[in-house]
Amino acid sequence: MEDACPHLQPLCAQALQAGCTVRRVPCDWLQARCVLEVAQPLRAGR
């Protein structure tokens, strides 16, 4: 996620390499400029 803050870019890169999805979440709370959500992929068939 190239538009993430510079200090979050390594974390985003690691999450993407691990197969997770990273997306920007709109927020109007706190004093954050943006909030990122990292989610692991769902496992197929158990």
Compute the chain's Rg from CA coordinates: 12
pLDDT of 46:
55
Domain ranges of the chain: 6-39
Note the pTM of the prediction, 2 decimals: 0.60
Give the three-state DSSP class for 8. helix
3 Cβ contact partners less than 8 Å away, ≥ 6 residues apart: 24
pLDDT digits (tens, 9 = 90+) for 1-46: 556 678 888 888 898 898 888 887 766 666 666 677 888 877 766 5
Report the C-alpha gap between 34 and 39 in whole angstroms.
Answer: 16
Report the C-alpha gap between 25 and 10 in whole angstroms.
Answer: 18
Give the three-state DSSP class for 30. coil
Count Cβ atoms below 10 Å from residue 39 Cβ, excluding itself: 10
